[in-house]
Amino acid sequence: MGNPILLTAVLLVLAVIGANLHKRLLKRKLEKATVFLRQQHDFLQSTLNSIAEGVIVTNSEGIIIFSNRPAWNFSGFGPQEMTGKHFSEVLKFKKELTGQDITIPYQDIMESRYVLRREDDILLENKEGSELFVGFSVAPIIKDKDLSEGVVIVFWDLSAQRDVRLALAESEAKFRGIFEVASDAIYLIGLDGVVVDANPAAAKMLFYTRDQLIGKRLSDFTSKEGYRKIKKIMEEADGYKAVALTVDQKRKDGTFVAAEVSLRLCTMGQEKRMVMLARDVTERKKYDQAIKHLALYDALTNLPNRNLFNEQIKKALHRAKRNKYKTAVMFLDLDCFKSINDKYGHRIGDLLLKGVGQRISGILRQEDTVARLGGDEFAVLLPQITTAADAGVVAEKICREIRKPWFISGYNFTVTLSIGIAIYPQDGENGEELLKNADLAMYNTKLNGKDNYQFYGSKV
């Protein structure tokens, strides 16, 4: 057997060597783990430094254990002075309107495990006292199902969004101001044709209250023809170009008002709306109609004048040519009208002219036309006759009717007229030629005793 003392010494030496070797191995593993953790920390730090949001991580006591560069920039605190502080010393949130401090219930968040998010007009006051419009969220750091070991606070700059919102609010206020005081009616209409809003001028124009107008369909207060036009525009609306037209709008009492309407598609928030401006042009329309009437009708007798009569002849000849039938044009002139004016005065003369027009109109068919050409000259258009004799029958009726006694303002008298007749197509191919030849025939009637009618080209 060997020496027991020597064996024990060898074993001790081996044990020491083994312990030292194990210690060196553990040290190497620890160094590798430390390097790995440092690399992971640096990677995490670099990653979070590159995002736009500020990030702060706390332990369960609310003490900051991690933060990123945006958090330093937003708060004004450096990384060294921030770490170890309670987050409430760094993040001083308050309400914009009231200035009231906002307390983050981080203990409740860790216990109840919910996420708090706010973007409702919040300011962050930094270290120097400057304020930044922000939003923030707070979420628990969950270690296991029973334990949360801190919170993550993320906050972000909302200054740009706030500027946009303020600009929109300013624009909305301007629009609302114009909307309320505008003299023209303004409607906001959904693409389904329902009124979303209407200004006081719209309610006044249609005899409704504002509340009564809101919710009504456009078809409820627009004429059928007007609604058809507007509906077509709304269905075909492509882009945001304004379209103008004139429609009749129905008032609450059932009467109609002529409205000059301008339509434009607009985006309001997330929805599209049709903005409709309407101006009451009833009086202007009446004025325009009066001007048009004066251009086409005789002011004294309210009969068609020469301009309108020429248009009627043109249309009648177009139909007659297409359908191959005859048309008659008559030229009528009162006999000795000057003596009536001289004896009874121009007022009686004017009343006589009106009466002549009325008597002639009473003889004619609905499709026939009588016009006053000027002075004591009248014209008659028979757009469709079978033979020239048909025109002679009408002319005889007119002469007979005008011969009847006249009783005007206490004066009793008789009067006659002379008529010339031209027939399409044998006496002329156009209105000017027919009217000229009818005039010549009328003068032949005058030369041959008056109070009668004569066809163009006929012999006495």
Give the pLDDT score at 460: 36
Q: Is 402 exposed, middle or buried (0-12, 13-18, 19+ CB in 10 A)?
A: buried
pTM of the model: 0.51
C-alpha to C-alpha distance for 232 and 236, rounded to whole angstroms: 6
The pLDDT tens digits for 77-98 are 988 888 999 999 999 999 887 8
- Same CATH topology for 49-159 and 298-455: the answer is no
Parallel, antiparallel, or unpaired: how do β-strands 377-385 and 64-67 relate?
A: unpaired
Hey, what are 345's tokens?
A: 């005065």
**Span 49-159 CATH architecture:** 2-Layer Sandwich (3.30)
The pLDDT tens digits for 346-386 are 999 999 999 999 999 999 999 999 999 999 999 999 999 99
Q: Looking at 39-91, which runs of residues are DSSP E strands? A: 54-58, 64-67
- Cβ atoms of 445 and 432 within 8 Å: the answer is no
Token match 């919040």: residue? 122
- Least confident interval from 106-110, 240-244, 304-308: 240-244
- The residues pairing with 190 across neighbouring beta strands, listed in sequence order, are 273
- Least confident interval from 60-64, 139-143, 308-312, 313-317: 139-143
Cβ neighbours of residue 56 closer than 8 Å, sequence gap 6 or more: 64, 66, 67, 71, 82, 87, 90, 91, 152, 153
User: What's the farthest any 2 CA atoms get from each other in the chain?
Assistant: 182
Q: What is the residue type of 207?
A: F
Picking from 373, 370, 436, 441, the residue whose alpha carbon sits closest to that of residue 402 is 370
**Mean pLDDT (the chain, rounded):** 86
Give the pLDDT score at 214: 92
Q: Kindly report the CATH number that applies to the domain delimited by 298-455.
A: 3.30.70.270
C-alpha to C-alpha distance for 243 and 421, rounded to whole angstroms: 51
Q: Is 58 exposed, middle or buried (0-12, 13-18, 19+ CB in 10 A)?
A: buried
pLDDT band at 258 (very low <50, low <70, confident <90, very high): confident
Hey, what are 402's tokens?
A: 């005008």
**Fold category of 182-284 in CATH:** Beta-Lactamase (3.30.450)
pLDDT at 172 over 80: no
The pLDDT tens digits for 261-311 are 888 887 776 778 888 888 888 777 777 777 888 889 998 999 999 999 999
pLDDT at 33 over 60: no
The pLDDT tens digits for 197-224 are 999 999 999 999 999 999 999 889 988 8
- Cβ atoms of 438 and 457 within 8 Å: the answer is no
Cβ neighbours of residue 457 closer than 8 Å, sequence gap 6 or more: 427, 437, 441
- 376 catalytic? Reply is yes
Q: Give the residue, 440 or 260, on which the prediction is more confident.
A: 440
Q: Which of 248, 280, 376, 427 is catalytic?
A: 376
Domain ranges of the chain: 49-159, 182-284, 298-455
